Structures are given as C-alpha cells and as structure tokens.
C-alpha cells in the first residue's frame, strides 16, 4: 500500500523517530561521499508551481545519492497549466513515475492529486502546510539538544504554513509550543481545532510573552509566496515582531534561533541574530538533505 506524506500527522511519533535514526545514518554516510542503492531504478517527479532553492536542490541531490533519478517539472510547462484535470494528470504520471514531490498553492489540490495517484505523493509545500520543512527542523532540534523532551519552542511572526506544520509536529511529539502572531495572521483555525495536547499550546498577540524561557525561537518571512499584494500592510503589522536584540534581551543565553529561509534580513530578523552564535539556520538548511533522504527511504521501502 502506498504511503503519502501530505502533512506531518501522516506519520506517527514512532515513525518520526525511525526517520531520525535514518537521518543520522545518511548524514554520517555523506561524509564519505557514499552513493547508495536504496532507491536504485526509482524515478521521481518534482512538480513545482512555486519557486524553490532548498527544497528542489535537497530533493534532487537526495534522490541522486540514493541511486534514483529525478525530473524537475515546473507546472507551467505541463498540461496542467492549460487546463488538464488533476485527476487525469495524476493517473498518467502514475504510469511513468515511482513517486511525485509537489510544491504548490492549494492543499486541496494536493490531496486530490494524492487521491487519484497510484504512487506516493510528498507535500513539498502548500499554502496550508510545509511538513518536510518541519520534519527536518524537528530533527535539527533533536540533534542539537539530544532530546525533544521538556523543550519550549516559541514561534514569532506570521501564522503561515510553516507555523501550522510546526504546531502539528509539536502536538504529535508532545512538545510545548507557543505562538506569537498578530490577531489577523493567526494559524489556521482547523489546525488549532484538531490539536490533541491543547495544554501544550499557548497563543498570544504579544511578541514578548514567550521569549524569556524559550529553548528555540523560530520565525519565518512575513510575506510568503502569494502574499505579495499585502506586502506593505504586512510590513507595518509585523514590525514589532521582528527578531532582534531588543526583543530577545531576556532570552536564555543558550536559546537556538531557527528560520526556514529564505530570510528577508532587516524585516523579520536582523543580521545580528541570524548571523549570531545562537543561530542554527544553516544547519537547519543542511539537514533538509539528510532528513529527506530518510523520509524517501522510509516511504518507499514501506509502500
């Protein structure tokens, strides 16, 4: 039976830790420039409707270093851009490929694609979720801290797809998560409604509320892809949510700063923070490669 990965809760807690073990294995292996045959003779499509740096590069290299092949498929070069139905596209692509990695706008369209595809579908970002990013981020925290127990993660900024997946991931792994967002840019209501461990989630409009005892402080861009028309308004609303030395003056000395990138320096974060000693943003970005290798092997060797 095929396994899709459309949201972080498509995995169990036990499965996430299995993927973390595989991630450590592949990260160590890469030191020796080893190419494996885990996905030998597998071919994957990367169907992308949105621009990408880390997601495209990390998936293409991951597939290559696992012995597989990848095809980059910008959606504007496919018949989807001319009105072919998702159903027909999914059925045809299933005849050619072993798996499909999709980066698009609508979560509903992604789920429709998975419904009709006979091959595993991986969500490489939608407007609602960014599960591969958060899976890799949780591994990075696990790697740096040695455990995910008794941690407090504070997210400050836009309640966007990254925030939604972070909330779901923390709920799944029973991690205390605190969110500081403007009232009009809160996380998705359905995501909040479906949280099981509601005692571990706190939400505030005040960016200072959850800084002092945070082990992890996380932010993301204020203007995501598709939000460009709101740019000027968003910059005004989010101004007090900027991660800077003033906001973090009461933070723990050993807090870790995370950002999924790309960063808009001088907007959601200042250079002094993102380039400072507490920042792990580039370790976070590197781990996209290792963790996505582990995810691919997990999904395709258990399908």
- Flag whether 158 is in a domain: yes
Count of domains for the chain: 2
Question: Is residue 53 domain-shared with residue 113, that is, in the same domain?
Answer: yes
Question: Is residue 232 domain-shared with residue 292, that is, in the same domain?
Answer: no
> Are 137 and 260 in contact, with CB atoms under 8 Å apart?
yes
For residue 200, the number of C-alpha atoms closer than 13 Å in the C-beta half-sphere is: 20
CATH number, domain of 201, equals 3.40.50.1370
Residue from 137, 288, 291, 292 carrying the catalytic annotation? 288
Is 133 catalytic? The answer is yes
Per the structure, the complete domain to which residue 52 belongs is given by 8-129+285-300
Helices 161-172, 131-145: inter-axial angle, 10-degree rounding: 50
Question: Is residue 39 domain-shared with residue 149, that is, in the same domain?
Answer: no
Question: Is residue 155 domain-shared with residue 275, that is, in the same domain?
Answer: yes
Q: How many CB atoms lie within 10 A of CB 31?
A: 7
Q: Could you give the 3-state DSSP secondary structure of residue 47?
A: strand
Distant-in-sequence, close-in-space partners of 2: CB < 8 Å, separation ≥ 6: 117, 118, 119, 120, 303
Residue from 220, 234, 259, 290 carrying the catalytic annotation? 220
pTM of the predicted protein model: 0.96
Question: Is residue 137 domain-shared with residue 96, that is, in the same domain?
Answer: no
Is 3 catalytic? The answer is no
Is 174 catalytic? The answer is no
> Are 209 and 178 in contact, with CB atoms under 8 Å apart?
yes
- Flag whether 1 is in a domain: no
Tell me how far CA of residue 196 lies from CA of 132, 200, 203, 251, 252, in angstroms: 21, 9, 15, 28, 29
Is 290 catalytic? The answer is no
Question: Is residue 52 domain-shared with residue 77, that is, in the same domain?
Answer: yes
| pLDDT tens per residue across all 303 residues of the chain | 899 999 999 999 999 999 999 999 999 999 998 899 999 999 999 999 999 999 999 999 999 999 999 999 999 999 999 999 999 999 999 999 999 999 999 999 999 999 999 999 999 999 999 999 999 999 999 999 999 999 999 999 999 999 999 999 999 999 999 999 999 999 999 999 999 999 999 999 999 999 999 999 999 999 887 778 889 999 999 999 999 999 999 999 999 999 999 999 999 999 999 999 999 999 999 999 999 999 999 999 865
Q: Give the Cα separation of 151 and 131 in Å (integer).
A: 20
> Are 71 and 48 in contact, with CB atoms under 8 Å apart?
no
Is 130 catalytic? The answer is yes
Residue from 133, 242, 284, 292 carrying the catalytic annotation? 133
**Structural tokens at position 147:** 């455990």
Q: Give the Cα separation of 48 and 151 in Å (integer).
A: 35
Question: Is residue 125 domain-shared with residue 139, that is, in the same domain?
Answer: no
Question: Is residue 107 domain-shared with residue 204, that is, in the same domain?
Answer: no
Residue from 260, 284, 290, 291 carrying the catalytic annotation? 260
Q: Give the Cα separation of 237 and 167 in Å (integer).
A: 22
Is 181 catalytic? The answer is no
Question: Is residue 197 domain-shared with residue 142, that is, in the same domain?
Answer: yes
Q: Burial letters for 102-137: b for 16+ Cβ neighbours within 10 Å, e otherwise?
A: bbbbebeebbebbebbebbbbbbbbbbbbbbbbbbb
């Amino acid at each position: 039976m095929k396994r899709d990965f459309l949201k972080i809760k498509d995995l169990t807690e036990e499965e996430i830790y299995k993927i973390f073990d595989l991630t450590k294995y592949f990260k160590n292996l890469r030191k020796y420039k080893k190419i494996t045959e885990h996905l030998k003779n597998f071919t994957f499509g990367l169907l992308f409707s949105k621009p990408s740096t880390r997601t495209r590069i990390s998936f293409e290299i991951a597939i290559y270093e696992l012995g597989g092949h990848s095809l980059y498929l910008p959606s504007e070069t496919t018949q989807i851009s001319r009105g072919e139905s998702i159903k027909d596209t999914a059925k045809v692509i299933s005849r050619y490929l072993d798996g499909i990695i999709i980066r698009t706008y609508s979560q509903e369209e992604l789920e429709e694609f998975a419904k009709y595809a006979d091959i595993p579908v991986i969500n490489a970002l939608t407007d609602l979720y960014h599960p591969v990013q958060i899976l890799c981020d949780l591994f990075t925290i696990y790697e740096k801290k040695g455990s995910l127990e008794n941690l407090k993660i504070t997210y400050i900024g836009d309640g966007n797809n990254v925030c939604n997946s972070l909330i779901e991931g923390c709920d799944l792994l029973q991690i205390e998560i605190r969110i500081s967002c403007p009232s009009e840019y809160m996380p998705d209501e359905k995501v909040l409604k479906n949280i099981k461990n509601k005692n571990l989630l706190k939400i505030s409009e005040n960016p200072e509320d959850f800084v002092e005892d945070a082990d992890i402080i996380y932010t993301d861009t204020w203007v995501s892809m598709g939000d460009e028309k709101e740019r000027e308004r968003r910059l005004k609303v989010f101004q007090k949510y900027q991660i800077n030395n003033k906001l973090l003056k009461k933070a723990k000395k050993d807090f870790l700063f995370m950002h999924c990138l790309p960063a808009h320096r001088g907007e959601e974060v200042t250079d002094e923070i993102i380039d400072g000693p507490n920042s792990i943003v580039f370790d976070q970005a590197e781990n996209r490669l290792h963790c996505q290798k582990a995810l691919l092997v997990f999904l395709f060797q258990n399908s």
